[in-house]
């Protein structure tokens, strides 16, 4: 199963959700790959920490290879690196993704990621794709390559207004490029149960019949501390309430 975590709005927790679900998947013995398509490299930093700068060839090198003729092109698995956790591997990001974006778009390499991930299916049972906060070449490539789309939602009115356009974008990709793509659900993030605005905003989405997933992910400073330590919550603080919410969410997706 290939999941893409997508929202055109920045700061909604795409990398946090991607890496924590992937870490739980791997901890449960599932062969798991994270693909970091965001030039900001947040997922790469979260999973590799100080080792991120020394990571081997990753997503940028993979896409660069599609732009040139090579007698012996590297196989997709050769762009993957291990993390410190068993069963959890990464196709690392790089700021160079910004530099090659225009060339990839103009030469219509939009299906290359899909082909690579299909080739990796024999190596991995679960793939999570982190995306930049924009509907660009990389995001479209991810939506074309994925089976399900998870949409982070951070409980404010701006996010709600953007949500409808985002769902239309997913439907367009589904109709034109990937009829297997489904909206796996809306992941409510940074939820404050005692505040009325988040409760009201999420309930309105539920009342509209939108696929809001449970549980909602609580707001906690511990997640920022886990970022700093480069350890997803299942390894950083396995007993924490937010960790258990991630575990429950992972189970809901698998069920």
Among 126, 122, 1, 129, CA closest to 59: 129
Q: What is the pLDDT of residue 22?
A: 98
Q: pTM of whole model > 0.75?
A: yes
Question: Any idea which of 38-42, 144-148, 202-206 has the lowest mean pLDDT?
Answer: 202-206
Region 151-170: mean pLDDT is 88
Cα 23 to Cα 7: distance, rounded to the nearest angstrom: 21
pLDDT at 168: 94
Give the dihedral of Cα atoms 207, 209, 210, 213; nearest 10 deg: 80
Which CATH number is associated with domain 2-254? 3.40.50.300
Please, how many CA atoms are within 13 Å of residue 87, restricted to the half-sphere of its CB?
15
Q: Tell me the two tokens of residue 174.
A: 């589904």
Backbone angles phi, psi at 57, to 5 degrees: -60, 140
pLDDT of residue 245 exceeding 70: yes
pLDDT over 90 (residue 194): no
**Beta bridge pairs of residue 145:** none
Interval 208-218: pLDDT, tens: 999 999 999 99
**β pairing state of 88-91 and 81-82:** antiparallel
- Report the C-alpha gap between 104 and 9 in whole angstroms: 23
User: Could you give the residue ranges of the DSSP H alpha helices within the chain?
Assistant: 14-27, 42-48, 59-66, 96-106, 112-119, 137-145, 157-176, 196-207, 221-229, 233-236, 241-254
Q: Give the pair of three-digit tokens for residue 173.
A: 């990709």
Give the pLDDT confidence score for residue 197 in this predicted structure: 85
Residue 117 to residue 49: CA distance in whole angstroms = 25
pLDDT tens, position by position, 16-45: 999 999 999 999 999 999 999 999 999 999
Residue 146's contacts (CB-CB under 8 Å, 6 or more residues apart) are 2, 3, 4, 129, 178, 181
Mean pLDDT of 244-250: 98
Average pLDDT value over all residues in the chain: 95
Residue 85 CB-density burial (10 A; 0-12 exposed, 13-18 middle, 19+ buried): middle
- Angle value at C-alpha 20, between 14 and 23, nearest 5 degrees: 135
Say whether pLDDT at 54 is over 90.
Answer: no
Burial class (CB in 10 A: 0-12, 13-18, 19+), 122: exposed
87 confidence band (pLDDT: 50, 70, 90): very high
Say if residue 46's pLDDT is above 90.
yes
Percent helix / strand / coil, the chain, rounded to 5: 50, 15, 35
Q: What is the pLDDT of residue 255?
A: 67
Q: Is the pLDDT of residue 158 over 80?
A: no
Q: How confident is the model at residue 81 (pLDDT cuts 50, 70, 90)?
A: very high
CA distances from 6 to 82, 84, 91 (A): 24, 26, 17
């Amino acid at each position: 199963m290939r999941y893409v975590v997508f929202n055109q709005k920045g700061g909604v927790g795409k990398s946090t959700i991607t890496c924590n679900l992937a870490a739980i998947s791997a901890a449960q013995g599932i062969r798991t790959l994270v693909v970091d398509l965001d030039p900001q490299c947040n997922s790469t930093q979260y999973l590799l920490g100080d080792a991120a700068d020394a990571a081997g060839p990753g997503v940028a090198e993979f896409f660069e290879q599609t732009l040139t003729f090579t007698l012996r092109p590297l196989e997709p698995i050769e762009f993957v690196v291990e993390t410190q956790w068993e069963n959890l591997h990464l196709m690392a990001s790089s700021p160079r993704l910004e530099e090659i974006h225009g060339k990839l778009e103009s030469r219509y390499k939009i299906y290359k990621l899909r082909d690579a991930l299909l080739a990796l299916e024999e190596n991995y049972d679960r793939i999570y794709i982190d995306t930049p906060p924009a509907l660009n070449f990389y995001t479209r490539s991810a939506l074309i390559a994925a089976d399900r789309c998870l949409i982070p939602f951070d409980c404010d009115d701006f996010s709600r207004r953007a949500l409808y356009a985002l769902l239309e974008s997913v439907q367009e990709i589904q109709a034109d490029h990937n009829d297997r793509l489904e909206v796996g659900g809306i992941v409510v993030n940074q939820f404050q149960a005692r505040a009325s605005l988040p409760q009201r905003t999420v309930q309105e989405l539920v009342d509209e019949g939108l696929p809001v997933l449970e549980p909602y992910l609580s707001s906690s400073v511990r997640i920022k501390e886990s970022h700093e330590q480069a350890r997803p919550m299942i390894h950083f603080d396995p007993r924490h309430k937010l960790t258990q919410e991630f575990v429950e969410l992972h189970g809901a997706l698998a069920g």
